[in-house]
Structure 1
Amino acid sequence: MSHSADPSNEIDALGLSLDSDILADSHGVTESIALECNTAGSLDLPEASPFDQFKIDSAHDVALGGRFKCGNCLRSFKLICPKCNVPLGHTPPHVDLPVSLDIYRHPSELIGKTTSTHAKLVADDQTEIYVDRLAKGDHKSLAQRYPDPKRVLLLYPSWDSVTLDQVEPGSFDKLVVIDGTWKQSRNMANVLSGCGFRPVRIAARKTLFWRYQPHDDFHLATIEAIYYFYRDYYSAFLESTAGPYDGRYDNLLFYFKVNFDVIQSYYRRNPERNFTSRKLGHDRYINYGSDEPADGNAGEEQEPLSDEHGAEAELGDEDGSSCGSLELVGDLAKDSQL
């Protein structure tokens, strides 16, 4: 999913999930990556991490966890069941959201590729995920669900969207985020905005997103956009009385950090592996502990590693799926197909 705070760019979108063409991976190689992470007993991480700026609970043991069978659907996944939106084999941190969150996911969206699930895992009691393509005929059912649509904010950078410092305090109690391809999301947004929801956008931030995307660093993954909405909420409505931000929403990025750490560890231990050169800033993304990228990651453009080795698959993909078994959590990058 790619997000931007700039409403003037048609491709740059808040609350939108963009398709990825990097899906198929080699099961054999990704199995060896997962096995290496588990048998090593630890992650090889740099001393400094971009996640050091957040107060996120330690995810070391979670990152090294194995596969578990979901007690609801009885299917085997690594760490989370994206079908039932439940953690497996561990208890995630809990985040108290100041405004409840509804996520509308298009039925065609790949559940193992969306980081919006992360919000449900850490804020289960305040997050709902609706699988719905949304059509114009849905206005009646939406009106029943949201009897006062003016109290609902839609995270979407339409021409009339505003930042939270332009919203009256106490005038809303629900945030709606859309999860689908860019084309699907625009159609879904038209339906939701037609219900009277108020569109908002977040301030611009740089992404910590690791997979290939053909946009600049200000395009965020879905969970990043959700997280920064709540950061903007704190700045707009709480900071004046509660003081400087204290990290209370940072664990929204808990599973996002799991992904980041596993990827960094794998490439640091295997510098001969080529990290995709199609990612913007690819030569600086993996921290090898020196100022220069490893020899295998410099020079002529290489094929994306996810196409051959699957080091960018997701936690939450089923055993035997096309993404192999490294299975990081969520939608490691939804690339625009426009």
Structure 2
Amino acid sequence: MENQVFSDLKIENMHILDAAETRSPCPKCGRSRKYFCYTCFVAVGLLQGRIPLVKLPIKVDIIKHPNERDGKSTACHAAVLANDDVTIYTFPCIPEYDRNEVILVFPGEDAVSLETLIQDQSTCGTENVNSDLNSTSEDAPKIAVHKKDDSTNNSIEHPSIGSSEENRVSDSCSRNTDVRKRKHGLDNADRQYSSIESDELDRDGAPEERVNAEPVAKKTKTKPMPTFSKVVFIDSTWKQSKTIFQDERLTDLRRVELKRHKTNFWRSQDSRPDTYLSTIEAVYYFLCDYHRLFVEEEYDGQYDNLLFFFTYMCNKIKFSNPKGKFK
């Protein structure tokens, strides 16, 4: 079929979905479902054990508005296909989040791209390190210094955090012994190195070629470590979403938006721009960006199957409905 959506992605064959013509009972709750149970997040009927499963690089929480119909929500796609890493909560029953560990994906004035978030955190981290270094040098405890007073033959002690005189003398002796040992070791190492160096020189003073020399490994540029361990998404209509993202448990979270991607969602978006994605699209595109920025392994479609159900429904609606939309 021509012009199918996501035709360039590595999504498993969806013919098994065509074979599921009738509804089947959920193996957990017993309710009648078509492809999967959107309450228990498991496949039903012919699809049991035959749908792709996806492993995610980060934990995902999805907060669903109580008025959002489960059967129409795309959030359940993620919970079914990546059940080990995705948790769905129904608002207002949501956890308390640590802003240092969690980010929220939702558009808005104070939302930034994932790349910008990394740059901001890197700059903030550098400032914190410099601040710590300055405070360390200023606030470090002063070490006791003993000066000999020739006139009184007494010691002058500067204030410090320390123990008894015997302990200080013992520590001083230990340090002197350690210094002598290290110096002795360095002297031996210097003589040993000089001997090796001279042996490697030929009569003309040129170094001999090392036959078994180890090849020098090339330094590879490593990707930065993420400053968060969980990402939160909101699953609701745009009118309903305001109630959720203004909740005090979410307002303090760093916010990220995805502007570079266009939606293929078939339902009306209330005149919103086409960069406003459905929930499963947002999860997928975020993970692709996350992989590109943080995961060393090259991306090879590891998360494409998150769109397994979404792609099937998109194409089915597109070619069965001339307008490609329904409410």
Q: So what's the TM-score if we normalise by structure 2?
A: 0.60
Partner of residue 133 from structure 1, selected from 92, 102, 105: 92
Seen in structure 2, the aligned counterparts of structure 1 residues 161 and 69 have a Cα distance that, compared at 3 Å, is same
Matched, 1:175 2:231: yes
- Identify the residue that residue 325 of structure 1 maps to in structure 2: none
- Give the corresponding residue for 2:14: 59
Tell me if 1:73 matches 2:53: no
For residues 236 and 159 of structure 1, what CA distance do their matches in structure 2 show?
23
Structure 2 distance, partners of 1:215, 1:182, is 9
The equivalent position to 1:166 in structure 2, one of 111, 116, 119, is 116
- Counterpart of 1:102 (choices 61, 73, 82) is 61
Work out whether residues 104 and 250 of structure 2, in 8 Å CA contact, stay in contact via their aligned partners in 1: no
Residue 233 of structure 1 corresponds to 290
State the shift of 1:124 in Å: 0.1
Assess if the C-alpha contact under 8 Å between 1:207 and 1:217 holds in 2: yes
Question: Counterpart of 1:224 in 2: which secondary structure?
Answer: helix
Residues matched between the structures, number: 216
Greater RCO (CA < 8 Å, at least 6 residues apart):
1
* Cα distance between partner residues in 1 of 2:253 and 2:78: 21
- Gaps of at least 5 residues in structure 2 are 119-224
Residue 202 (structure 2) aligns with: none
1:204 corresponds to: 260
On the 8 A contact 1:154/1:193 being kept in 2, the answer is no
SS at match of 1:124: coil
1:62 Cα deviation from its structure 2 partner: 1.5
State the Cα distance separating 1:231 from its structure 2 match: 1.1
Partner Cα distance (1:157, 1:237) in 2: 22
Q: Which runs of 4+ in 1 moved over 4 A?
A: 192-195
Partner in structure 2 of residue 27 of structure 1: none
Q: Distance in 2 between matches of 1:210 and 1:183?
A: 18
Q: CA deviation at 1:47?
A: 3.7
Task: Look up the match of 2:208.
Answer: none
Percent identical among aligned pairs is 38
Which residue of structure 2 lines up, in the alignment, with residue 326 of structure 1?
A: none
1:86 is matched with which residue: 32, 36, 42? Answer: 42
* 1:107-156 residue CA offsets vs partner (Å, 9 max, x unmatched): 1110011001100011001010111236xxx7xxx33xx3x332101011
CA contact (8 A) 1:92 1:121 kept: no
Q: 1:179 to 1:264 in 2, by over 3 A?
A: closer
* Contact 2:63–2:233, Cα closer than 8 Å, also in 1: yes
In the TM superposition, residue 84 of structure 1 has moved relative to its aligned partner by 1.7
Report deviation, 1:87: 1.2
Distance 1:123 1:227, change over 3 A: same
Q: For the structure 1 residues 227 and 250, does the alpha-carbon distance in structure 2 shift closer, same or farther, using more than 3 Å as the test?
A: same
Structure 1 residue 194: Cα displacement: 4.7
Q: Check whether the contact 2:10–2:305 (CA below 8 A) recurs between aligned residues.
A: yes
Alignment root-mean-square deviation, CA: 2.2
Return the match for 2:278 from 186, 201, 221.
221
Q: In structure 1, what residue type is equivalent to 2:38?
A: P
Query: Structure 2 vs 1, CA of residues 218 and 158 (structure 1 numbering), >3 Å: closer, same or farther?
Result: closer
Q: Is the 8 A contact 1:202 1:232 kept in 2?
A: no
Which of 289, 294, 301 is the equivalent residue of 1:247?
301
One-letter amino acid of the structure 2 residue matched with residue 50 of structure 1: V
